[in-house]
Amino acid sequence: MAVTTVGVIRERYPGENRVAITPDVVTRISTDDVTVIVESGAGTGSRFSDEDYRTAGARIGSLKEVIDNASVICCVNPAEPDGLRTGQILIGVFEPLHRTDLIKRLQAIEATVVSLDLLPRKLSRAQSMDVLSSQANIAGYKAALVAADAYGRYFPMLTTAAGTSQPATVLILGTGVAGLSAIGTARRLGAVVTAYDVRPEAKGEVESLGARFLELTSVASGSGEGGYARQLTETEREAQQAELAEAIGRFDVVITTAKVPGRKPPILVTEDAVARMRPGAVVVDMAAGELGGNVAQVKSEGSFETDNGVTIIGAGNLPSQMAPAASTAYARNISAVLKHLIVDGTVHVDTDEEITGQIVVTHQGRPVSPALADALTESTDQAGDSA
């Protein structure tokens, strides 16, 4: 009987505390034909000890031992550990559309790269694998808490002997999974919440959570295929920014959530918009990262105060701040992916299958997705031009 060994490595990405597989998932996936080996210390940031993994049935080893023994290696952020063997399978969130150099290096050793940010999220049978949604739900919840902590006043209306404090007014920009989670959390904290999305159909979801929907006249509809927002034209984007700038100044807290996998996030909060906000206001940018963010002045991570007293927080990796919960959700997604790929102890990479064909970036040295093949070719051409 064939046996597949699944390896779990310690995250080395700066500030990352999550782990790809938790002890409870080790128990779920371990069978006579699937074994698990975990790098020592991999779960420390998520409060899982090596002994927790041993108890669950995993072996503990060094990074080299994991790489030497595992045919499948699981991670959270993009990983390229030394000593990878030809044909090994890497599963994680690789963001391949803008990490083309990494993908080309992995392609050169004929690794199979499975990137879960490419998952077709509208497929009902893929929902248990949906890493982006599970992590966005946690990020939206945490964003509201981060905003409340940074805001120097109460979120709820409070009546005391010293007088009445008015509730904070909160604007959520983007009502996907993260936005809806932020709306619900801010509402539970007692704030008066308004939300905006370019998709008119989002209004019903916003109002069902007890929030108001901000309607702009500059973009009639930004709805795209599959329920997602489409890319706005330059004219639409400029009109949207101008109209949003007027609205943003009325709010105490703004939380932005418009992150586009593999692409630069759209600017929703301009410098003019921040200049219109009151001293003490807070902006939390959940899209902040290597490619920028939704706020014009944002830094990839960390906070700073503007000249007019507005606190801007770059918060692109909030799930890491809730590593135990985020790792638990992520590991369950990974478990579903492994059960999809491993049959009778053997990993089957059928690139013609509906789900597998979407999440496999490169297999045995060749790019699978046409879009990614174009991105890899474009990256090579640009490198040649710059040389």
Known catalytic residues are: 121, 127, 130, 133, 228
- Give dist(CA 128, CA 61) in Å, integer: 29
User: Which one, of 361, 368, 353, lies nearest residue 113 by Cα?
Assistant: 361
Rounded to a whole number of angstroms, the distance between the first and last alpha carbons of the chain is 51
Q: Would you state the structure tokens that stand for residue 42, as one six-digit string?
A: 């991999």
Which one, of 226, 269, 43, lies nearest residue 119 by Cα?
226
The Cβ-side half-sphere exposure at 189, using a 13 Å CA radius, reads 27
Q: What is the DSSP letter of 92?
A: E
Do 344 and 33 contact (CB within 8 A), yes or no?
Answer: yes
- Supply the DSSP string of 328-348, one letter for each residue: HHHHHHHHHHHHHHEETTEE-
Structure-block tokens of residue 310: 């507005």
Sign of the Cα pseudo-torsion (41, 137, 26, 87, in order):
negative
